[in-house]
Each structure stands twice: as structure tokens, then as C-alpha cells.
Amino acid sequence: MQEISKEKCKLVEELGLNVEEKHNLPPLAGRIYAFMILSNVEGHTFEDIIEITCASKSSVSTNLNLLVQLKFIEYFTKTGDRKRYFRITKNYLRITLEEYHREIDKELTLVKKVNKFNEENNPEKFKKNKNLGIIFQEYLIAQKENLELTIKKMIEFKETLDQ
């Protein structure tokens, strides 16, 4: 196992905190995921991850199982080797973008309902604040369309790699 640079350690912590907060994960799961994003190795053993994180076997096991269950990471085996190797799920970026898309879609649905409700039930308020609600609705629509385009590009890119 090679030594990890201070720069990489710092970025693992920063990225790990972001992943932890955004996906409501335990701190160790965030750090494991961040480390794997930044890794230049295709797959790490359980023992590698224990050494990298300096965490207990049970903590690493629990957090790896959580990340596998949530489809953040996956494991594979090598012929003739009984060990499992963990890596980022092949489609992790697409999965993340699809998650954002669902969140924006929910928010857009709510904003449309609020705008419609205010238009019908609070006409003075709607008239006064209409532009703000419409501006926000347009922003969400643009975000949703941008995500859809990006996901489509990722799928097309993946298809070219698979050929």
C-alpha cells in the first residue's frame, strides 16, 4: 500500500464531509467513498480500507455494507483470489445526477402548486410576488433540462466505451 499525500488526505476529508452531509452518511462512509473517488487503483481490499482509514474492522465492515447497499460502491473478485475488492459503482456520477433530478422534480412540482395556489387563493399576494415564483420555477425547469441533457451525454459516452 502506497503512502497517501497530505494533499490527498485533505481532499478526502473535504470531499468526505460533503458526501456525508449531502447523502446523510456516517463520517467513515463519507471518507471511504471520497477515498475511492480519488483512488487511482481499481479496487481496494477490506484490509486496504482498514489501513487507509485507521478504523476498526467492524466499523469498516458496517460502512462498506452501507455503501454497497446504497449502490455508492460495488465489489468484485479476481480469479483465484478469495478476497473482495471494492470500487466506486461504475455509474456513480449518473446515479448522483439522477438523484438531483428527482429532487429538483419534487421541488418543481411543489413550486408549481404554490404558484397555482397563490394565484387562485391569494391573488393580491400572487400579483405582488408573481415574478419571484415564476423566476424560481424557470430556474428549476432549466436545472432539470440541464440534468437530463447531462445524463443523456453520460449514457451516450458510456455506450461508446462499451463498443
Domain range for 30 is: 6-88
Final residue before a domain boundary, out of 88, 106, 126: 88
Q: How many structural domains comprise the chain?
A: 2
Instruction: Compute the distance between CA of residue 79 and CA of residue 163 in angstroms, rounded to an integer.
Output: 24
Does some domain include residue 53? Answer: yes
Q: Do 100 and 65 share a structural domain?
A: no
Predicted TM-score of the model (pTM): 0.71
In a domain, 44, yes or no: yes
Confidence at residue 142, expressed as pLDDT on a 0 to 100 scale:
97
Asked if 23 and 71 sit in the same domain, the reply is: yes
Same domain for 68 and 27: yes
In a domain, 148, yes or no: yes
| CATH number for the domain that contains residue 35 | 1.10.10.10
Q: What is the pLDDT of residues 39-91, one digit of tens each?
A: 888 899 999 999 989 899 999 999 999 999 998 999 999 999 989 999 998 87
Same domain, 83 and 23: yes
Residue 81: inside a domain: yes
